[in-house]
Structure formats: structure tokens, C-alpha cells
Amino acid sequence: MARCPPEVVQRRAETEKLLAMETEDVVTAMKTERTQVVIVGAGPAGMLLGHILTRCGIDNVVLERQSKAHVLQRIRAGVLEAHSVEVLRRWGLADRLDAVGAVKDGSQIVWQDRPGHFIDVRKWTGSPMFAYGQTMLTEDLYAARARSGEDVSDEVTQLTFHDLATANPWLTYERGGQSHRLDCDFVAGCDGFQGLARAAIPQAFQRNFGRVYPFAWLGIMVQRPPIPDFTYAYHATGMALAAQRNPMLSRYYIQVPLTEKIEDWPDDRFWETLLLRFPSDLAARIQTGPSIEKSIAPLRSFVSEPMRHGRLFLAGDAAHIVPPTGAKGLNLAISDIHFLSTALIDRYQTGSDTLLESYSATALRRVWAAELLSWRLTNLLHPMPEEDAFAQRLRQAEYDTLLRSEAAQQALALDYAGVPYL
């Protein structure tokens, strides 16, 4: 497990002295505090950063808009790269993952009227992927923070960023009827795609790139055993995906038009649509049942550059979004935090800004590789509304190339496994 150098621990003692000077501003009734790093957002990115910094004796405060209960019940990702698992192991966060997470050699593609293809990540990279729900990882991160004696300031409102481009940034917010001012050295914007951190960067310093896809994924969770492999099914009527959380919990998705409403999708209609999209031998093995959760997510590609403004550093979905087809969103959040925490630790250890200066470029290298993979897989596996016969033939030709060419199979497996960190 990674250890932190004594210099960093000494810095913590200095900050504790500062914290002891915490003041109550009588005139404004605003509670004023100081920490080293303020982390906005208690999703996987924010909680992982908080854990690593705490381990290294770097003071941090995590601010979250939602309640803890809300964050812990959110259902999202389910596939972890070996790179992500390595980070979690290094920081002592993988005990449950190693005990109950399923090791997967790769994922499968099946195709209407054509043979299937297995994206053989283990064969081409030597490492497997892992099936482990983001919901469980979030529980692990909350438990680790509680064990270290720190908490999450949840249900904060009226969050405002101040002086981000100076050496003394600060934030104000409301919590439980109390106004707060929080001074710090650095701010980590880990507040997801709808958060406020990215919006705090003046537009003149920011460039956004993106695509909005003309369809969504309707997902359900069901307490039935999954089929063995994560399986993406291409069908002329739309994509379907069989995923899993544990031996008794399956997750399924179908591509639906953007205009669809959940209430128009009773379970029977969902299963009928899903089973039609899988080849009959696989469809016969899918165990259907009543859904315990159902949600619709639009698909989007988005990158905001750079991932830094002054003392504000963006990480995870706050800086970029991928469509879920490549299972990369959570993995990118983890790699961003790997780079950002390494840079912050180095800054507190040595006083050098070098790694903080290169954080955005370093993180974006992986981000753009994942954007490309997710965009390609999305286009390969989803029929577009009203696409013409030329587009259909090109998609088939692309899939046929994958079936025929070992080089194409290797390239896809390497991209699906995720770019090595360095």
C-alpha cells in the first residue's frame, strides 16, 4: 500500500495549527475555516482524491450537494480497467473488490446475422477487466473516509468560488442554515457534468468539444443471475447490452429514442425489446424478472480544456463525459485522480508546481483516447435514426473488418482495456 513521505505529514501538523485558529465572524455570522484542498463533489472522483490526500496527511474538505443516502443509492458504472483496480489496491481500497468483484477476460459483441466477436483484453494486454458496481465502490470510499475519522459535508447549497486564479482561493456555501467561508490552497472540481466548478472558469479560458447522440440508454437492474459475459448486441432496431453486478444481480440496457419516457416502458415491453436484439441462443439464456430499478440516460461526448484554471483543477465527469458504450467514465475519473493526487502530493512534498502544471495535458491524453474508443464503439453498435443504406453498409464493413483482421482485434482490445498511465 502506498505510504506518504514524512514532509507531507509535517505539513499536516502546520495546517492543523491553522485549523485551530478557526474563527467565528461575529459580524456576518459566517463560519470561516481553512484547509489545504477543497474537493467539490463526493462521487468516485472526489472521494478517491479525499482518501488519497488524507492518507498522505494533506488536509481536505469534501463538499457534496446531495445527501449521503442519495449518493450511495445511485446506480451507474460496472466495469473497471486493470489500471483502475491497481490504483484502488495501491490505496487500500480493493479488499471487497478482490473478494467479490468478478474477473473478466474481456467483453463480447454479438451481431444480427453475423458471428460474434470477443474483445479479448486478457489475450492482448495480459491483464483482465473487473465487474464491480460503482455503487459498491462508492460505499467502499465512504467507509474508508469514515474509518480515517473524516466526513463529507453533504447537502451544501449556494456554493460559490472566489479568487480561483490567485494563490488564495476560497469558497462560500450554506449548510444546515449556516453560512461558511472556506479558504484553501487548491480546489478540486469533482462535481460531475452538471456541477458548478467547470462553470466557474471564465469562458475566455475554456474550450469545449462535444457530440450529443440522437438516442439514449434505458437501463434496468434485475435480481436474476447474469449471462457470463458483458455482451453488446447490435441489431437493426437498436443496441442492447447485458451487464452484471454480482452472481444474483444483472443490469441490462437497450438503445431507445431520446424522446422516450420511463413510464412508457413497463418491464414486459423492455424484455420483449431486449430479447429480440440478442441472437436466439443467447436470448434463451437471459433470465428475465421484475426490475428493481429503471432509468434513462442520454448519450453524450464532451471534453472541456484545459482541466485547470489557476488553483482550480477539474477531474472526472466535471471535465469530460463519454457515452457509456466503452465503459470508460468511472475509469477516467480514477485516472484523473491518480494524476491529480500525484501532482498535489509532489507540490506539498517539494514545493514544485511542475506536475500541477502538466496535470491537464497528462490527463487529457487518456481522456481523448477514451473519447475516441467510446465514440467509435457507439457508432459501431447503434443504428442512427433514419440512417441510409450507405451508413448501414459501412457499419457492417467495419464489423467485418474486426472479424477478419487480427490487427483490428488487437487495437480494439488495447483501447477497451484503457491507455496505460504512462
Binding site for ligand RFL (CB under 6 A): 40-46, 63-66, 71, 76-79, 134, 156, 159, 190-192, 194-196, 217, 219, 297, 316-317, 324, 327-331, 333
CB of 283 to ligand PHB, least distance (A): 19
Nearer Cβ to ligand PHB, position 223 or 342? 223
Q: Which of the choices ligand PHB, ligand RFL, none does residue 58 contact, using the CB cut-off of 5 to 8 A by kind?
A: none
User: Does residue 52 belong to the site contacting ligand PHB (CB under 6 A)?
Assistant: no
Give the x-and-dash track for 364-403 against ligand PHB (CB under 6 A): ----------------------------------------
CB of 169 to ligand RFL, least distance (A): 15
SS3 of the chain: CCCCCHHHHHHHHHHHHHHHCCEEECCCCEEEEECCEEEECCCHHHHHHHHHHHHCCCCEEEECCCCHHHHHHCCCCCEECHHHHHHHHHCCCCHHHHHHCEEECEEEEEECCEEEEEEEHHHHHCCCEEECCHHHHHHHHHHHHHHCCCCCECCCEEEEEECCCCCCCEEEEEECCEEEEEECCEEEECCCCCCCCHHHCCHHHCEEEEEEEEEEEEEEEECCCCCCCCEEEECCCCCEEEEEEECCEEEEEEEEECCCCHHHCCHHHHHHHHHHHCCHHHHCCCCCCCEEEEEEEEEEEEEEECCEECCEEECHHHCEECCHHHCCHHHHHHHHHHHHHHHHHHHHHHCCCHHHHHHHHHHHHHHHHHHHHHHHHHHHHCCCCCCCHHHHHHHHHHHHHHHHCHHHHHHHHHHHHCCCCC
* Cα 180 from Cα 178, distance rounded (Å): 6
Nearer Cβ to ligand PHB, position 79 or 87? 79
Q: Which of the choices ligand PHB, ligand RFL, none does residue 37 contact, using the CB cut-off of 5 to 8 A by kind?
A: none
Q: Which of the choices ligand RFL, ligand PHB, none does residue 41 contact, using the CB cut-off of 5 to 8 A by kind?
A: ligand RFL
Q: Which of 239, 307, 327, 380 binds ligand PHB (CB under 6 A)?
A: 327
Give the x-and-dash track for 230-259 against ligand PHB (CB under 6 A): x------------x-------x--------
Nearer Cβ to ligand RFL, position 66 or 396? 66
**Is the CB of residue 82 less than 8 Å from the CB of residue 414?**
no
Q: Which of the choices ligand PHB, ligand RFL, none does residue 226 contact, using the CB cut-off of 5 to 8 A by kind?
A: none
Q: Which of 231, 304, 325, 360 binds ligand PHB (CB under 6 A)?
A: 325
Nearer Cβ to ligand PHB, position 222 or 243? 243
**Is the CB of residue 45 less than 8 Å from the CB of residue 330?**
no
CB of 74 to ligand RFL, least distance (A): 7
Which residue stretch of 55-63, 259-267, 319-327, 379-387 sits at the interface with ligand PHB (rule: CB under 6 A)? Answer: 319-327
Nearer Cβ to ligand RFL, position 12 or 308? 308
Residue nearest to ligand PHB according to CB distances in the complex: 78
CB of 375 to ligand RFL, least distance (A): 15
Site for ligand PHB in 69-128 (CB under 6 A): 77-79
User: Does residue 215 belong to the site contacting ligand PHB (CB under 6 A)?
Assistant: no
For binding to ligand PHB (CB under 6 A), which residues are involved?
77-79, 230, 243, 251, 324-325, 327
